[in-house]
Amino acid sequence: MAARHKSVETKYMEERDAVLRGLRGLDRRTFLKVLAASAGAVMSKGLITPHSFQLVEVANAAPDKTAEATGMAGKPPFTFAYISDTHLYPRTLNQRFVRGAVKAVEDVNALDPQPDFVLFGGDLAQTGRHEELELGRQILAELKAPVKMMVGEHDWFYDLGDSWKDMFGPPNYSFDWKGVHVVVLMSVHEKDFWTARKLTPAERMGIVAGLDNGIQSRFEVGDEERKWLSDDLAKVPHTTPLLVFSHSPLYKYYRNWNFWTEDAEQVQAILKPYKHVTVIHGHTHQMLYNQIANISFYGMLSTAWPWPYAPTGLPPLTIQMNRADPFDQFDGLGDGQLNVRPDGLADKIYNLWDRNPVSVKADYLISHGKVARPPAPQFASY
């Protein structure tokens, strides 16, 4: 074979790169013109599937009609970015996951304008060792924007949070940001399965680290922290938009893999009086979104590895992302942004590495799929 055959994907990526190279140095108006023209050209060739090469709105949210209608106009919109589930081993053992984490930091640092803050979604470490957390802390220290830390089970179950708390403070806290009340939860408590079995900290961590290890308990926010949440919200008016960050999804997706929060219904009940609630969670390593009553849920991407969709329990509103290509280390991974609208709801951009970003609008979720449907995958789960 003389010249190596170029796959459709390769040709597509080359065209895309050429367009993007041509865009450097253009002002915004010209940028949009070129982008529209090139998208049109590609479309006219019939090369594209419905979801590829779509224009994605990455500008900050403009004041929208919903906001005016709900009387929320006037609250400043803002953007925050996220990085999640880096699962770092010590640098000497594993460079692959370090590359992912560093790539995400570079992505976020390249955002212009910079986000108001960066949410780290938990599972900084893979096996909860101090060395792993410290490596993560150093990598995240390169971020230009302030970082809001959240804990995951991989950070916690070696020393039950001692190292993490030393480095980052309490695992649950709240703050107010431009009219939105933000709550960060520690949602990955587990009932004690280790004492009776006389497990070492390393064994305990190993069991929790295994998704399909049935020995561990299911995640829960727990009585104490739900009480804390109720107390925290006692002073927050029900008209204030809430942003809740939790590592595990605050609903029940798939129990066997702990894509699950055991007391999810009780937490949802605490959030129920609020008109606009958005929950951002990690742990599931996939494009995942859901709407339960007044609560919109968005899952975050990982920078370490993607997870397949669970065999059952996928929220009907979630449109699967294309299966990840195992031959591409970064496929199915990424980071993302949330554009908080003036009414406090948030549109989400999944910044998938080596793919076009996918935008999921709050309108899609609150309309229960009637409007703004995200693109369908070509290759869903087997």
Partner 1 sequence: MTRRSIALVTAAGCAAILAAVAYAPQVLRAQQAQAPLPIHQVPQAKDGGVVVMLCDGKTSMEVKGLKTGESMSHAQAVEVTRELMAQWQREHPNEKWQMAQTDESSQPVPAPSAASGADVSKPSSTVPSMEAGAKPPAKGMQQGDTYASFTDRDYKVWKNETDNFVAEGKRIFHSDKELGGTIGVSCDMCHPDASNTHPETYPKYQVQLQKVALLRDMINWCIENPVKGKAFDPNDPKLRALEAYILAQRKGVPLNYGKH
Residues that bind partner 1 (CB under 8 A): 7, 89, 93-96, 126, 210-213, 256-257, 305-308, 310-311, 323, 325-327, 329, 379, 381-382
Helices (H), 76-173: 96-109, 130-140, 153-156, 162-168
CB 169, min distance to partner 1, A: 28
The answer to whether 100 and 108 are in contact (CB under 8 A) is no
> Which residue's CB is nearer to partner 1, number 31 or number 379?
379
Q: How far is CA 75 from CA 70, 221, 234, 277, 308, in A?
A: 12, 31, 22, 16, 38
CB 238, min distance to partner 1, A: 39
Q: How far apart are CA 157 and CA 163, in angstroms?
A: 10
Of 181, 173, 177, whose CA–CA distance to 236 is shortest? 181
Of 361, 287, 366, 353, whose CA–CA distance to 325 is shortest? 353
**Bridge partners, 290 (sequence order):** 297
CB 86, min distance to partner 1, A: 14
User: Which residues fall within 8 angstroms of residue 85, CB to CB, at 6 or more apart?
Assistant: 121, 122, 123, 152, 282, 283, 285, 300, 301, 302, 303, 304
> Which residue's CB is nearer to partner 1, number 85 or number 347?
85
> Which residue's CB is nearer to partner 1, number 44 or number 312?
312
Q: Are strands 346-352 and 334-340 parallel, antiparallel or unpaired?
A: antiparallel
Q: How far apart are CA 233 and CA 183, in angstroms?
A: 9
> Which residue's CB is nearer to partner 1, number 195 or number 312?
312
CB 20, min distance to partner 1, A: 24
Give the tokens for residue 340: 């908080």
> Which residue's CB is nearer to partner 1, number 207 or number 340?
207
> Which residue's CB is nearer to partner 1, number 308 or number 377?
308
CB 257, min distance to partner 1, A: 5
**Bridge partners, 124 (sequence order):** none
**Bridge partners, 348 (sequence order):** 338, 360
CB 78, min distance to partner 1, A: 35
> Which residue's CB is nearer to partner 1, number 40 or number 210?
210
The answer to whether 172 and 185 are in contact (CB under 8 A) is yes
CB 108, min distance to partner 1, A: 25
DSSP SS3 for 58: coil
> Which residue's CB is nearer to partner 1, number 107 or number 123?
123
CB 262, min distance to partner 1, A: 19
CB 93, min distance to partner 1, A: 5
User: Which residues fall within 8 angstroms of residue 223, CB to CB, at 6 or more apart?
Assistant: none
Q: How far apart are CA 63 and CA 76, in angstroms?
A: 9
User: What letter would DSSP give residue 107?
Assistant: H
> Which residue's CB is nearer to partner 1, number 136 or number 306?
306
